[in-house]
Structure 1
Amino acid sequence: MKVIFDARDKGVTECHAFGTPIDSSFGLRLHRGIFNRFLEDGVLSRSTGVTIVTTADALAGSGLGTSSALVVAMCEAMREYAGAPLGRYELAHLAFEIERRELRLAGGKQDQYSAAFGGVNFIEFFDQDRVIVNPLRVHRNILLELEASLVICFTGLSRDSDAIIDAQISRIVSKDAGVVEAMLSLKEAAFAMKRALLAGDLCAFGDTLNRSWLSKKSTAATISNDLIERLLKIGHDAGAYACKVSGAGGGGFLLFMTPPERKSELIGALNVAGGEATPVRLTEDGVEAWTQP
């Protein structure tokens, strides 16, 4: 019996003997870590082989939470396959534990909960791994206007988020006053954006996004660079009134807000400048898995 990992987007296939944990310090680490956890928890039978095939539309290191979304998706698929009784909170926490604690990949836990739950949420994180996902009851018209106002643009750079996150953590641990103040500002921005969204004030929402970008930039020198600043300026000149780099920064995707009537102009200007800009779709659904009939 064999366990096969087939990462189609990477063009990598691995074949291992089934029944014992697999070294997850190299290779397809996410696949190996998930398999090991489900095997060690007794969820998978040690007498049955399994093939896991994956593909991702967004590159790892793009700032869109691709790695965490992939971990959540694979965990949900394994849960469905094995009939494991895991709810959304348990699934997100399991994905967090595998990615951050067992594989020791740098990052937070917001991506796992966003992927598991979907929708528009205000997520609160507390001590002792307590998390509360609060679905926001935003009027449909506001969500449609927000969706029509959003554009994302790939810079063409896939970056190593670990180095940026490690630099931020180092400055926080050393109690760097500037970084601590910036992190508190980012926290307050989340509350302000929640209030603005519920009220349908997208201008205030955008203003807060701009302020949070300035706070984010001050937490590590490598979050922005000449390419990012050039694309952000081009976006502003083409009608965007708010912008921010998604994820850790240093590359990946940029997020813009623009009046809907100027969206095509913004996308065109960013694409001419060498970016890869597209509209955004909001979804109410989180991770889904099904058994083939």
Structure 2
Amino acid sequence: MIITRTPFRISLAGGGTDLAEFYAREEGAVVSFAIDKYMYITVHPRFEKTIRVSYSKTEIVDRPDDLEHPIVREALKTTGIDSHIEIISMADIPANTGLGSSSSFTVGLLHALWSYKGKRVGAEDLARQACAIEIERLKEPIGKQDQYIAAYGNLRQIRFLPNGLVRTKALSVKPAVRRALADNLLVFYTDMTRRASDILSEQKRQTADKMSVLKAMRDMADELARVLEKGQKLDRVGEILDQSWALKKSLAPGITNPRIEELYDDARKAGAIGGKILGAGGGGFLLLYAARGRQGAVRRALSSLRPLTFALEPRGSVIAHRN
């Protein structure tokens, strides 16, 4: 039996520039970090020849092509497994909440399946294969950042080149700055879920008309990386979040709504410097940057929401259990 543990992520800046419609013309960049909330994938040999997959539903089929779950189907094809296997998934956070769960699932599943076959596959290959499944085969209207942060972990700057290559580096951030960043970030669940693909499909269609906005968002991601590595004027992170959120809302309908605007305004009035809805938008988790002295007021202003406690996760997908 193999169990993989793959982190979810919080994207700070640059989201949208990891879509091919943008980076094929202009280099994209994001800053993102893995958190200690995880997707768990268990793979176990099955006595029967069939394939059994348990997620929000259970499927028992004779071959991969019969599976309804598209990612599991394609991952089995990628790894060449077609029978005598059971796959179970569990997660700390619900899907469709903006923490990159779909890509964490794909990366973790590939990691588990390759390990089940006795092959050690590195983070780069896991990320590339996950992108190939989600974007190339399944035609999901998503970008590449989630697969890479799930595979690599840590606090990273990820660049997307016009030739399709991806360059990722762990930011050189002092431990005290890393702690201060985590201490100043608050996350709240809005109790609204949405399918990222619905928003991203429209965003992709409008990319050609939004190039200047996306370039500004990429430049803010680069500035945020510099701020973190210098470790000075950390409140600039909150300002960049606020400015990026203002730009992001213009990319497509559905990224925000009256309830999200109300929550964000309440948080700002209470002392939050900036923030954003995580992921594509429309619901899920609200990220805020607030100095320690203002966090009590922010929490009171958003007392109707459930807070999410988290820590930065230095590792990407790992084998948590093998026997």
Q: Do both proteins adopt the same fold according to a TM-score greater than 0.5, normalized to the shorter chain?
A: yes
RMSD: 1.6
2:75 alignment counterpart: 34
1:13 to 58, 69, 75: 58
> Which residue of structure 2 aligns with residue 197 of structure 1?
228
| Cα distance in 1 between the residues matched to 2:320 and 2:219 | 39
Contact 2:202-2:252 within 8 A present in 1 as well: yes
Does the aligned pair in 2 maintain the 1:120–1:136 contact within 8 Å? Answer: yes
Q: Please list the CA deviations of residues 31-54 of structure 1 after superposition, one character each: whole Å capped at 9, or x if unmatched.
A: 222122222xxxx3x5x5110010
* 1:100 equivalent in alignment to 2:141: no
Q: Which residue of 1 aligns with 2:33?
A: none
- Match of 1:137, as an amino acid? S
Partner Cα separation in structure 2 for residue 155 and residue 28 of structure 1:
27
Structure 1 consecutive aligned stretches of length 4 or more whose deviation exceeds 6 Å = none
- Alignment pair present for 1:218 and 2:258: no
Alpha-carbon displacement from aligned partner over 1:16-37 (angstroms, at most 9, x marks no partner)? 11xx43145xx32222221222
Q: 2 CA distance for matches of 1:78 and 1:54?
A: 13
2:127 is the alignment partner of 1:88: no
Q: 1:204 to 1:165 in 2, by over 3 A?
A: same
Residue equivalent to 1:250: 282
- For the 8 Å contact 2:238–2:274, the answer to whether it is kept is yes
Deviation at residue 159 of structure 1 after TM alignment: 0.6
Residues paired across the two proteins, number: 274
Deviates more, 1:221-230 or 1:127-136: 127-136
**Structure 1, unaligned stretches of length 5 or more?**
none
Structure-2 separation of matches of 1:93 and 1:77: 16
Aligned to 1:157: 192
Aligned-partner Cα distance in 1 for 2:300–2:317:
32
Helix, strand or coil for the counterpart of 1:100? Answer: helix
Distance in 2 between residues matched to 1:23 and 1:156, nearest whole Å: 34
Deviation for aligned residue 1:129: 2.9
Structure 2: where are the runs of 5+ without partners?
1-48
How far apart are the structure 2 equivalents of 1:182 and 1:56?
A: 34
Q: 1:88 to 1:109 in 2, by over 3 A?
A: same
From 266, 270, 279, the counterpart of 2:309: 279
Q: Deviations over 1:144-170 (max 9, x none)?
A: 011111111111111121121111111
Alignment deviations for residues 61-87 of structure 1 (CA, whole Å, 9 cap, x no partner): 111101111111111111211122421
Q: Could you tell me whether the CA contact under 8 Å between 1:154 and 1:276 is conserved in 2? A: yes
Structure 1 residues 239 and 279, CA, compared in 2 at 3 Å: closer, same or farther? farther
Matched residue SS, 1:279: coil
Task: Note if contact 1:240-1:259 (Cα within 8 Å) is conserved in structure 2.
Answer: yes
Q: Residue type of the partner of 1:260? A: R
Q: Distance between the aligned counterparts of 2:303 and 2:132, measured in 1?
A: 38
* Distance (Å, rounded) in 2 between the aligned partners of 1:252 and 1:118: 21
Are the equivalent residues in 2 in contact too, given 1:206–1:257 (CA < 8 A)?
Answer: yes
The one-letter code sitting in structure 2 at the alignment partner of 1:108 is: G
Contact 1:164 1:222 in 2 (8 A): yes
Identity among equivalent positions (%) equals: 30
Q: Please state if 1:138 is matched with 2:167.
A: no
Distance 1:52 1:264 in 2: 43
Normalising by structure 1, we get a TM-score of 0.88
Contact 1:121/1:136 (<8 A) preserved: yes
* 1:128 Cα offset (Å): 3.4
**Distance in 2 separating the partners of 1:267 and 1:79:** 43
Instruction: Verify the 8 A CA contact 1:88 1:116 in the aligned structure 2.
Output: yes
Amino acid in the other structure paired with 2:202: A
In structure 2, C-alpha distance between the alignment counterparts of 1:143 and 1:213, rounded to whole Å: 22
- Preserved contact between residue 141 and residue 204 of structure 2 (Cα < 8 Å): no
Distance 2:61 2:299 in 1: 45
Amino acid at match of 1:109: K
Moved more, 83-92 or 225-234: 83-92
CA contact (8 A) 1:150 1:279 kept: no
